[in-house]
Structure 1
Amino acid sequence: MAKGFYISKNLRLVGLLIGAAALVTIIALSVAYNREKTKNMQCPVDGVVMTTTDVSSIPTPSTPKHPWDHYRLPDSLSPISYNITLWPRLQVNQDGLYVFTGESAVVFECRRPTDLIIIHCNKLNLTLVNGHHARLTCLDGAVPPTIKNSWLQVETEYLVIQLNGQLSAGKIYVLFTDFKGELADDLEGFYRSEYTEDGVKKVVATSHMQATYARKAFPCFDEPAMKAVFHILLIHDRGTVALSNGLDVATINTTLNGTEVTMTRFEPTKRMSTYLLAFVVSDFDHVTGSTESNVLVRIWARRKAVAEGQGAYALNVTGPILRFYERYYNVSYPLSKSDQIALPDFGAGAMENWGLITYRETALLFDSEISSMGNKERVTSVVAHELAHMWFGNLVTLRWWNDLWLNEGFASYVEYLGADYAEPTWNIKEQIILYDVHKVFAVDALASSHPLSQKEEEINRPAEISEMFNTISYSKGAAVLRMLSEFLSEPVFVRGLSSYLKEFAFNNTVYTDLWDHLQKAVASTPDISLPDTVHNIMNRWVLQMGFPVVTIDTTTGQITQKHFLLDPDSVVDRPSPYNYTWFVPVIWMKGGVTQQPHWLLRTTERQNIMRTSGTEWLLANLKMSGYYRVNYNLENWEHLINQLNTDHLVIPVINRAQILDDTFNLARAKILTTTLALRTTRYLSQERDYIPWESAIRNLNYFILMFDRGPGYGVLQAYLKKQITPLFEHFRTITANWTQVPVAHNDKYNQVNAIAFACRMGLEDCRLLTRSWFRDWMRNPHSNPIHPNLKSIVYCNAIATGGVEEWDFAWIMLRNATVASEAAKLRWALTCTKVPWLLNRYLEYCLDPAQIRKQDATSTISNIASNAVGMPLAWDFIRARWSYIYAEYGEGSFSFSNLISAVTRRFSTEFELKQLKQFKEDYAQVGFGSGTQALAQAIERTNSNMKWVAENQQNIINWLTSESR
């Protein structure tokens, strides 16, 4: 058995001096608090021991024989509080490793007599005490059962302790452990982040616990329903600062084992889940502010970043966003402070740790001189998303990961509301259509999609939990909740939401608890009329995958619904409790006049009011408030296309984007012809708004992906160049020949679209423009003439049309970049080169953390695969190194799904399909982690692409040829 680490007597005495002496009082208060908070819980996790069930994406082992073979904790024990001491070492030890040491005392109640203690513990080296991994006491002074045996169960990530007698129901016990772990650079649990500042290498000890990584930091009951109060003590190098969820309440300088250290104790946390814990030790600096309700707000980052003012914008928007949410939820912010910290290495975009939110630098820092408007909007949106979780997710937490969609979908929806409050001139709420609704349509239209909520027993292993962090949970969740808010009305929605938060504060729920409170809000609102209960309406959207296409025949008034599948020949083998029918709220207009809403409750019905005459047109799903696509009879489509060509402004801007997105996807599903979809793009030469253009480009990008390696690409490029040129000239004019910045927020984005798409389609004026700007920069590297909003596209196009000189210059600029957003732009632009050996070299860099940070490796490979030249190189690279990539990044990595989707999205041949299936077979034993479902979707998508190309390629070429003359 490996040698453990035992906390010295000196350390124990100092710890006692600054808080541990109050252990008995703390435990007693925690017990009382725990019982008070849990006595009225409607949905306790206790009472169920989960067994392994058949899960399609993961091979099913034989039925577990012992409690420790299950991936869910037994119901016999319930944590009350933890006392945790952690000491991260920011210098390597004699073995060349960075480590941390610690001790934990977890106070728990025995709910059911048992002779077994099972607690999560992963990759920790536990100190043996009298031959065992832990020490057990009884709170009331009684003698607890002695430990018979203890061991680490690696597969299920447990510390298992067998006792010589039984724990008694209702009694309170304390389990003590001492441990040592590696402060690795794996972005999980308690880990290490490194950076260089002023030529000096610096190390940060930081954490990321979601979803199953708290067990890598200390032994714990690592399930979201196992809430407890945490008392944290951090020991750290002199001159560094320690942060955790609570405010620091005592700091003492002392000497331990001959090392001068600082000990920081934090106020006890609220009752919370383990995945929301956070610890950071660094020499970072911060900027400080406060809210109207006197909540301390601090933005932490590298000292140079703070000195350059990069934290100022996040500080400025945090107060207004917190104020908005306090009013929106009608619940005060639950904590005394809100720390937000930008980390050089962070695997996710951000993490909503309660009171100490962690971010990638690009998601929190903004430099007004260097960063773009897009960077600024990202900071606002991500801050709004994470702060939304402080109530929804943290104060009230879903019982298990199968309902992750409600947590993340809700934050993904209300982030638009919070950001809109902070920046009201941006009209950011409209962008949910592009960034969530249209995005998730593409995934949820596959036969391999899945419902928002799945059964608890289907989600057990860490890899299965990681799979839930996907587009369905985030974006479909946002779209469905937005639809719910729309048909209930926002006042009713927020009234039910507030009631839900107040009843379940500091506890756990299942998603139907929210339906209960929304139903009560409906019942108290006389003027609202629903066709059924909130439960019955919403469960159809939550418990079955996919969404409907609503077809309206304006000649007969017939309206129908059908499960929309991108590939109509695909087989849906997932049963539906509702036979794939939905209660559909239809908001519509006729002849430009908005009509009364209509609920489509059946598969088919007839509504005479939906009949039109003459050239009158009908348009359904106004502002895309509903989560469904819309089809019409051919005559109505002709009227809509004619309206676009004659006066497109009569149709609301969101619905212009909807028409483009619906027609292209209905054509892919063989419901409409591809040429009808292409005809909706004729009007684009007149379109100047960002949202329709962005929708068009995304849909046309599918044509580009299917054509850019084949003979039809030239004629496609010629047509699209003709359509984009007027937009390019429009922005040349309003910017006084590119010397000014557009005024409107969305115009700034559409200027980027105009230049990016014009260059991509080969408009020579565009290519000359971007090359000249980049050349000017190369001649004077210390003075970049390119406006921040345009940097990404200028860098990319100059590198794409250049060679080694341009690539090497950009690489040097990347290595020297001190602003994270600038580094991100350069890192992406380097993937644009058409030189194969440069792309191969860049791929090799991705697996060398000294060249490309681990947090950026998979996204960089994905971006290389987006390049037509880079796609086969990236695919070969991944297949050759999958075992290493999987082992290095772990089965819990959220990024594998995006990686597999990105590399395979061009696949459209029989040969590529065979390669994909072979890849799945070759690495079945290794596994695919969070990419398991993405791999199944890639196979389905490739089949669909093959059929689409075979059936449509020649007709498209013929149409494009006629249009380009």
Structure 2
Amino acid sequence: MGKGFYISKNQAIVAALLAAVAVVTIIALSIVYSKEKAKRALPLNDEKTSPVTPTSPPSNEPWDKYRLPDTLKPQSYNITLWPRLTEDAQGMYIFTGSSEVVFMCEKETDLIIIHCNKLNLTFFDGHHAKLIGMHRTAAPAIKKTWFQVETQYLVVQLKGTLKPGKAYSLSTEFKGELADDLEGFYRSEYKEDGIKKVVAITQMQATYARKAFPCFDEPAMKAIFHITLIHEPGTIALSNKSLQIDRINVIRTRFEPTKKMSTYLVAFIVSDFTYITKQEDNKDLMVRIWARQKAIKGGQGDYALSITQPIMEFFEKYYNTDYPLSKSDQIALPDFSAGAMENWGLVTYRETALLYDPKTSANGNKQRIATVVSHELAHMWFGNLVTLKWWNDLWLNEGFASYVEYLGADYAEPTWNIKDQIILYDMYRAFAVDSLVSSHPLSCKEEEVNKPAEISQMFNTISYSKGAAVLRMLSEFLTEPVFAKGLTTYLNQFAFGNSVYSDLWDHLQKAVDRTPQLKLPHRVHDIMNRWILQMGFPVVTIDTGTGNVSQKHFLLEPNSVVEKPSEFNYEWYIPINWMKKSGEQDQLWLLQKSEFQQTKPFNAMFGLTLNQNFHIVTCIIIFSCIFMSHFLMLLQAVHKPMKVSRGQWVLANVNVSGYYRVNYDLENWERLLSQLNSNHQIIPVINRAQILDDAFNLARASIINITLALRTTKYLSLEKEYIPWEAALRSLNSLFLVFDRSDVYGAMQAYLRNQVKPLFDHFTSITGNWTTVPLGHNDQFTQIIALSLACKTGLPGCRDIIKAWFRQWMQDPDNNKIHPNLRSTVYCYAIAAGGVEEWDFGWRMFKKATVAAEAVKLRSALACTREPWLLNRYLEYTLDPEKIRKQDATSTIGSISSNIVGQPLAWNFVRARWEYLFKVYGTGSFSFSRLINDITARFCTSFELSELKQFQKDNADVGFGSGTQALQQAIEKTTAKIKWLEDNKQQVLQWFISQSA
């Protein structure tokens, strides 16, 4: 918090006079506002919000709406399912099942509308379902039943009506395909010792439970689930805790009733997997890691098991709430569309997100497992115990878990210092998307998210990464203890129920109110609504000469027209913590745009459009308000602390806790650059990364000169820390992508070769000429950067080392001596430097790999070849699930597109096969947005922009699913890059040339 301020007696007198003026002003404003408001046809907020386009079909019938009516509420399900893990006579894998759902009638109705998709239901007396009344309640007869395909409903029309307050039971029997589409109840296939094996798996989020059994498939429709699985001898069934297992000709496993929960969190699996377990002496909680038998026997589940209990303990303490269940199963699956899924008590993962083999897995694989496990376990409370009412608030669920995953992983691995990495993996990712006019607010109205495709689009960078960054900022200015107290009371009140985001604000405000020493400028609701109800983020500009601090909506293309209005006028309440070179630190709040930028003060503050009849009085009031506000701001410790003496610098957003970028006057930039080049360690590590990232993005937005941004990289020859180097590489990569096909590339490559040489030499020295790896967790990441960038820029000796290592492995395939940390880099550059022999060897090793992490490294490296025919062949492989698993198809295409040779091949491939790719992989795939980002990352010419727009037009009828927003963002980014290159290419070229002179 700020240190306070003092005023003189004369200032106090003037302030008192101004206070009197303020009273008169407020009264006058109230009169004007009241008269004006009375003339309005709509409320103020409604005028400033864009109209919502209806997404429901034109029919007003309830079965043509995408949201369930509020007439029925489920209480429990009794589900029996029998997946067949062998093909039937028609060559299909199927499952059969029966379901009984008991529901309460809330409002009188003659309709039962329940989700059901791609299930073939048995007929009962000519109908698809059977209805009975509970507790001697008479049930009306069924008139007719039908499927509503578009809205995915089974509709049951009755001859009479259901009565409010009465319970009924709806029974169905059904058959479905156990397809390989990674949705609902599906199958995964893999080979072990040459034998094909099949696993029956579920993935219900977001709208796929309806593909497994008829259900009220909305998150607020919580119920208790009684699940029974029938399966073949030699297999095991997982869901909730097993209650009874009967073995006759087949095995019937009945599970304990679940807690009250949402359909999207239900999970059940049939496989021949095995597990390892750990149970604490003083706890009833059973923790198990499940995977393929060879993976478990090879110790690949040991690391996940070792961190699960500590992470669970951390969250129990953090939430001050016991884990709600009696067991925690985590299972690694060969085929899984998401990275992981937080099913309550049975968490499902890709193998790469749960299995770790010290012999072949890299340090990065280990870190990913820690953060993903932490993310999913965080959901056991936040998301599962308390669930958001509807998908429009998905950001709070996923953003929260994306933030606290760093806290849980830090508790399990305290030496990693992993919490700072949130700026690399979440904040900067969010900035990249949120700086576009095609971005969107974190939260929206319920009616804006209805269709399954619209729900799927919510699973994006804004929801996950911006949500994490904004919640981290909230936790920072509240302080972690206050934040945690609010979470505890929130979880206690809404346990086993549903909430909306404002409920959390209520509980956090109560925690603030109980902490007298914590002073906020506004209530939590008022502060946070500005961050979640309007898109984008600000750039804070600090003029250390005048002490002025201002904010402005940061846009990558500054001349873009923002067509999405905001009731807050793109103005934020910004917590700013800062430090001086002397070490002095302080904090302030920026609560308005700027004392020198209020050209429309009434519009900015009140959102009014005043009638001409009030112009004269309005002008008087405006000037009074401006004068008063300017004077009071000078009294406050808002701007004064930013004035510095000669030679001093100011650094704002210490610890990068705020979700905003920072710009300075040129003199302060020069002081910071001087500090970096003389003694960079005076500036905190995380803020060195901030200076680099902010500078490059301010230059991309034409706020500062690109040469100023480039100068921030000159100190890198002195830098040894991972986070600044990673931030620099990400910024420089944007230059690589637009310049690696131009004459700038050679000069840029030469400059970076000189900058990375000291780092390369450093690791050559401390690792015994690359024969070992450093002990430090982050140092191991920096070593990878040194090797990769050295080879990328052609540093003498680097590629020779890599080719020698790879050739040695080719000569002895069973003895790979390349360290796991370095394998991704070595495989890529060796295959790029080689030909068909190296590629075919990499392919054989990929197909032979038994550890998923190793397979991923090889699959990605195969995309590095410079041979077009090999890349085209590889693209064709993505269409064959026998060669490339469906879960990996889009990421493989993306890897090929990151290759300068492969990019046009991948673009042509995707355009030619879009309809097929979308239907097979894209209708529910969260990965399609990343695919579009990957294949368009290099686009920076007018011709490429026209191709992109034509692609959008040609496939409008097919659709783009979760990639819809990504496609619009690609068009916007390409447009911005074209303009930026026109203005900056020659400056960049001349600067790089000057550095080698």
TM-score range (shorter-chain normalised) is: over 0.9
* Structure 2 match to 1:274: 263
* Structure 1 match to 2:411: 421
| 8 Å contact kept, 2:291–2:333 | yes
The aligned runs of 1:291-310 (5 Å cut-off) are 291=280, 292-310=282-300
Give the C-alpha shift of residue 365 in structure 1. Answer: 0.3
Distance 1:524 1:220 in 2: 43
1:411 equivalenced with 2:401 (yes/no): yes
* Structure 2 match to 1:915: 947
Give the C-alpha shift of residue 594 in structure 1. Answer: 3.6
1:287 equivalenced with 2:273 (yes/no): no
Distance 2:55 2:182 in 1: 28
Give the C-alpha shift of residue 711 in structure 1. Answer: 1.8
| Cα-to-partner distance string for 1:517-558 (whole Å, 9 max, x where unaligned) | 000000000100000000000000010000000000000000
| 8 Å contact kept, 2:56–2:66 | no
* Structure 1 match to 2:464: 474
1:807 equivalenced with 2:839 (yes/no): yes
* Residue aligned with 2:540, SS: strand
1:852 equivalenced with 2:884 (yes/no): yes
The aligned runs of 1:283-432 (5 Å cut-off) are 283-291=272-280, 292-432=282-422
Distance 2:279 2:55 in 1: 52
* Residue aligned with 2:690, SS: helix
* Structure 2 match to 1:261: 250
Give the C-alpha shift of residue 55 in structure 1. Answer: 6.5
Q: Which residue identity does 2:74 align to in structure 1?
A: P
1:898 equivalenced with 2:898 (yes/no): no
* Structure 1 match to 2:99: 104
| Cα-to-partner distance string for 1:604-633 (whole Å, 9 max, x where unaligned) | 146122111211000000010100000000
Distance 1:277 1:54 in 2: 36
* Structure 2 match to 1:4: none
1:602 equivalenced with 2:592 (yes/no): yes
Distance 2:154 2:99 in 1: 13
| Cα-to-partner distance string for 1:707-735 (whole Å, 9 max, x where unaligned) | 01112211111111111111111110111
* Residue aligned with 1:425, SS: coil
| 8 Å contact kept, 2:824–2:858 | yes
* Structure 1 match to 2:822: 790
* Structure 2 match to 1:502: 492
* Residue aligned with 1:191, SS: strand
**1:138 pairs with one of 133, 145, 150:** 133
Distance 1:188 1:222 in 2: 14
Give the C-alpha shift of residue 60 in structure 1. Answer: 5.1
* Structure 2 match to 1:763: 795
Distance 1:109 1:294 in 2: 34
| Cα-to-partner distance string for 1:412-442 (whole Å, 9 max, x where unaligned) | 0000000000000000001001101111111
Distance 1:804 1:847 in 2: 21
Give the C-alpha shift of residue 294 in structure 1. Answer: 2.5
Distance 1:426 1:55 in 2: 46
Distance 1:540 1:761 in 2: 44
* Structure 1 match to 2:692: 660
| 8 Å contact kept, 1:589–1:619 | yes
| 8 Å contact kept, 1:592–1:650 | no
**2:813 pairs with one of 772, 781, 792:** 781
The aligned runs of 1:943-958 (5 Å cut-off) are 943-958=975-990
| Cα-to-partner distance string for 1:665-723 (whole Å, 9 max, x where unaligned) | 00011100000000010000011100000000000001000001112211111111111
* Structure 2 match to 1:647: 679
Farther-moved stretch of structure 1 (138-147 vs 684-693):
138-147
| 8 Å contact kept, 2:540–2:551 | yes
| 8 Å contact kept, 1:497–1:518 | yes
* Structure 2 match to 1:197: 192
* Structure 2 match to 1:738: 770
Distance 1:422 1:594 in 2: 33
Q: TM-score, normalised by structure 1?
A: 0.93
| 8 Å contact kept, 2:353–2:368 | yes
Give the C-alpha shift of residue 577 in structure 1. Answer: 1.4
**Structure 1: gaps of 5 or more residues:** 1-52, 255-259
Give the C-alpha shift of residue 570 in structure 1. Answer: 1.3
| Cα-to-partner distance string for 1:900-937 (whole Å, 9 max, x where unaligned) | 11111110011111111111111101100000000110
| 8 Å contact kept, 2:791–2:829 | yes
Distance 2:304 2:251 in 1: 29
Distance 2:390 2:584 in 1: 42
Distance 2:981 2:586 in 1: 41
Give the C-alpha shift of residue 143 in structure 1. Answer: 2.6
Change (3 A) 1:534 1:61: closer
| 8 Å contact kept, 1:592–1:651 | no
* Structure 1 match to 2:65: 70
1:232 equivalenced with 2:230 (yes/no): no
| 8 Å contact kept, 1:462–1:891 | no
| 8 Å contact kept, 1:132–1:147 | yes
Number of equivalences: 905
Distance 1:293 1:712 in 2: 63
Distance 1:661 1:370 in 2: 33
**Structure 2: gaps of 5 or more residues:** 1-49, 596-633
Report percent identity of matched pairs: 66
| 8 Å contact kept, 1:77–1:110 | yes
| 8 Å contact kept, 1:54–1:458 | no
Q: TM-score, normalised by structure 2?
A: 0.90
Give the C-alpha shift of residue 893 in structure 1. Answer: 1.2
* Structure 1 match to 2:153: 158
| Cα-to-partner distance string for 1:255-294 (whole Å, 9 max, x where unaligned) | xxxxx21000000000000000001000001001124532
Give the C-alpha shift of residue 763 in structure 1. Answer: 1.4
Moved over 4 A (4+): 53-56, 59-62
Farther-moved stretch of structure 1 (733-742 vs 631-640):
733-742
Distance 1:705 1:890 in 2: 26
Distance 2:774 2:85 in 1: 47
> Cα RMSD over matched residues?
1.0
* Residue aligned with 2:231, SS: strand
* Structure 1 match to 2:449: 459
* Residue aligned with 2:586, SS: coil
Distance 1:461 1:834 in 2: 42
* Structure 1 match to 2:74: 79
Change (3 A) 1:208 1:61: closer
1:251 equivalenced with 2:245 (yes/no): yes
* Residue aligned with 1:604, SS: coil
Change (3 A) 1:548 1:269: same
Distance 2:519 2:218 in 1: 39
Give the C-alpha shift of residue 142 in structure 1. Answer: 3.1
Distance 2:200 2:463 in 1: 30
Q: Which residue identity does 2:573 align to in structure 1?
A: F
| Cα-to-partner distance string for 1:347-401 (whole Å, 9 max, x where unaligned) | 0000000000000000000001111111111111100000000000000000000
* Residue aligned with 2:275, SS: strand
1:542 equivalenced with 2:532 (yes/no): yes
Distance 1:294 1:223 in 2: 32
* Structure 1 match to 2:478: 488
The aligned runs of 1:633-644 (5 Å cut-off) are 633-644=665-676
* Structure 1 match to 2:907: 875
**1:827 pairs with one of 859, 875, 887:** 859
Q: Which has the greater radius of gyration?
A: 2
Distance 2:838 2:791 in 1: 17
Distance 2:677 2:99 in 1: 69
* Structure 1 match to 2:627: none
* Residue aligned with 1:639, SS: helix
Distance 1:827 1:321 in 2: 31
Distance 2:410 2:135 in 1: 54
| Cα-to-partner distance string for 1:781-829 (whole Å, 9 max, x where unaligned) | 0000100110100001101111111110000000000000000100011
